[in-house]
Structure 1
């Protein structure tokens, strides 16, 4: 009886898991379905769960639009710059907070957490004036500076958890063998932070890749739009919303993220779990 009860419980949990998986994947399926559906099918009051007739017109029109590749370039270089700079600064900040004891350390750690609670919208005016004063409006550098500032606090906190998980005795042993303090950091600690760096990089990349409101404030030129701003162009007050274009554009936006996840999924999963239990 006990074995039968256990099998029944496992079967129930499996069914429940399948149901949740279907609920989770349905929006993605609907996105793809709408991307390959005709305008008549999308505007019909009767939903169609299969793209019949099938069309690739929405993708063809997007790939023939130079504005898409301009926005792709803007988003890609901005996200890469944010990831590289944020990880470098966050690594050294995490080392300092984890390995050194100095006056104001607790206050600095607390400020890292408090900054996360400030609504981004509350800073828009001051951020706009600052970037305008530096003559960096409508530029990758200006947008990246603000994205880096927004992602740094959480990235520092995440990496600090990973640094805390590396025994300080390993660095002390390296120093006894002749390494300097900095050499011990890079030769011993840094290689052990691979999972944490990958997880933090994914966070920074997604934050920059998907951000919309700050880009809307800083980027007013048609030649410097990011992908989320470019996607807004499929919706107009007079002509309505081109749902086929929106869905196809969203699919193309998701492809780089999916590729990135496939490449680093194992390290990212390990890193996210480890970062949650360390620190």
Structure 2
């Protein structure tokens, strides 16, 4: 019995010695932080933010500054003597005979932009689903054509567009301007939505069809909610492009049917000094709907992303 105990003790001692001699794996320690690199990145980010925000701030600052202070040689970064008269002037400015005023220009831009968003999303959504989900003859050629059309600048086709709209008797009409905007925005929207549709696996629809849904029900109940963020993103692009477009609106619209960017251009006159305070106030009024639209749609886009992830 004592011999067995001694042997067991020796074995345990040898095992402990082997464990002690076996090198233990070193724990990974977090690498040293690089405060200098992070500081440089923060400085670069701050410079980018200031360069992006300062023009907007300066526009709002000048819109609240009296006219006699705007042309001063020492402009102030903070409007110490601010006034809202520039906004009153921009809103109630009496248009020249045959020209538009701000309320009518706002209505024209709103109607054209709203129509462009609806028509663009409808056509682009159907085309993106067809390109991403179906394999038909001429599919690759259609995608290449979309890319080529997107690369051509609109200014290169100004005379062609002018002649075509004039032949259709749509000059100086919201319908003619809306057709031009839709043609300009649809290619990019199709290409963007195609990526969203391709990112949604077709297996989700097949699983829904196994559970008893028809093909259309599976698409609208499973795939479409996942595509909502893409529709919102492309809708924002279509809104900004249509709302801020100037060249085609200046070419096709005149008189009482001006949009907001072309209405703002009417402040310049060859016979009188430009009221820069009213111009800055008008620019701020034009930018406010864009900010409001983005704030409303941003929450919907985030909600669509979360909802799509849960449903998927």
What is the TM-score of this pair, normalised by structure 1?
Answer: 0.89
Check 1:84–1:7 CA distance in 2 against 1; reply closer, same or farther (3 A cut): same
CA contact (8 A) 2:225 2:304 kept: no
Residue correspondences, number: 270
SS at match of 1:214: helix
Which one of the candidate residues 112, 124, 127 is aligned to 2:146?
112
Which residue number in structure 1 is paired with residue 191 of structure 2?
Answer: 157
Match of 1:135 in 2: 169
Distance 1:146 1:122 in 2: 14
- Partners of 2:102 and 2:282 lie apart in 1 by 9
1:199–1:267 Cα contact (<8 Å) kept: no
Query: Residues of 1 paired with 2:49 and 2:173: CA distance?
Result: 40
Structure 1 residue ranges without an equivalent (≥5): 273-279
Task: Give the counterpart of 2:222 among 188, 198, 212.
Answer: 188
Q: Give the one of 33, 42, 63 matched to 1:35.
A: 63
- Which of residues 269, 274, 277 is equivalent to 1:244? 277
Contact 1:198 1:271 in 2 (8 A): no
* Structure 1 CA distance for aligned equivalents of residues 50 and 281 of structure 2: 22
122 and 91 in structure 1: CA distance in 2 versus 1, 3 angstrom threshold: same
TM-score, L = length of structure 2: 0.80
Matching of residues 1-279 of structure 1 within 5 Å: 5-65=33-93, 67-220=101-254, 222-266=255-299
Secondary structure in 1 aligned to 2:78? coil
Q: Tell me, which stretches of 5 or more residues in structure 2 are unaligned?
A: 1-29, 95-100, 306-312
Q: Structure 1 stretches (4+) deviating beyond 6 angstroms?
A: 269-272
Question: Cα offset for 1:15?
Answer: 3.4
Q: Residues 5 and 185 (structure 1 numbering): CA distance in 2 closer, same or farther, change over 3 Å?
A: closer
CA–CA distance in structure 1, aligned partners of residues 284 and 61 of structure 2: 11
CA distance in 1, matches of 2:301, 2:148: 26
Larger CA Rg, structure 1 vs 2: 2
Contact preservation (8 Å) 2:228, 2:301: no
Deviations 1:192-216, CA, capped at 9 Å, x for gaps: 1111000000000001000011011
1:36 deviates by 0.7
Q: Secondary structure at 1:235's aligned position in 2? A: coil
